[in-house]
Amino acid sequence: MLYNEWLKFRRSGLFWTLPVVGLFSPLLFMSLRLSEKLRFADSQTMPWLDYFGNEKMFYCFFIVLIWMGLIAGQLISREYTDHTVSILYTYPASRISIILSKTVMVGFIVLLCQAFEFTGLYFTSWIYKGEVMPAQILVQELQRTGISLLGQLALVPLFVWLSQLGRSILLPIIAAIGLMITNPMVTAINTSSYSPFSMYVSSYISIISGSPALPVGRVLLVDLMMFVVTMSILLFHTVKMEIRS
């Protein structure tokens, strides 16, 4: 089933946008910083942590959510546009297997996008700074990226459920836009406050704001609770929903 879902994704137009989405934020941020250095002779090169924090804030707050909504919506709504949903979802057991495979595939695509983003950030920061990222900073950034990725994956069942509920990409995109607006607003009001939907960016908010970072255990606990609750809702809805092709 996972291989079939991968083939469906490869045949979609979103497959070729995967590296573009992953590399967009690192390339854009590098271009902005380089143009600033060229325009202002007294412009200072940003420190490593500030550079990473600003780029990651943009990637996490804006790109991740829209991308997740598009992917989940495309994988779910395609069964309705291709009129295959009445065949695939005939039995509850097959419904569970199919929705789990789709959820895993969305998570895998999010992982691939994060890999492109991290690789792009490594090389663009090298170009901007004129030196290779120090090993200690690289290890720290890998740790922060891993925590961020777990937070992203915790939101995957939510977007899959919204896609299934709306039977299109419209509802997950609306939710993504809503989170894109509310998550930064919560942070702007109080830099020590976090929405439960923004745990994936918590380690970078502390870099930019200078506020104490949330304990990793607390972040992972919120991620786990988010995943368990949304996955339970997704599975319950999958078993109980009426099929209309």
Closest by Cα among 68, 245, 69, 98 to 171:
69
Q: What is the pLDDT of residue 60?
A: 86
199, 212, 213 from 218: Cα distances, Å: 9, 13, 11
User: What is the predicted pLDDT for the residue at 243?
Assistant: 59
CA-CA-CA-CA dihedral for 104, 120, 188, 190, to nearest 10: 70
Q: Within 13 Å, how many C-alpha atoms sit on residue 11's CB side?
A: 8
Average pLDDT for the chain:
84
Return the C-alpha torsion angle 184, 233, 4, 75, nearest 10: -40
Average pLDDT estimate for 54-67: 88
Overall average pLDDT of the 100-129 stretch: 93
d(CA 146, CA 152): 10
Q: In sequence order, what are the residues at sequence separation of 6 or more whose Cβ sits closer than 8 angstroms to the Cβ of residue 51?
A: 29, 33, 125, 128, 129
Question: DSSP per residue over 22-67, as a string?
Answer: HHHHHHHHHHHHHHHHHH-TTPPPPPHHHHHHHHHHHIIIIIHHHH
CA proximity to 64, closest of 193, 201, 237, 195: 201
More confident residue, 222 or 2: 222
CB 205 within 8 Å of CB 211: yes
**pLDDT of amino acid 105:** 92
Average pLDDT, integer, range 102-128? 93
What's the predicted TM-score (pTM) here?
0.88
Q: How confident is the model at residue 244 (pLDDT cuts 50, 70, 90)?
A: low
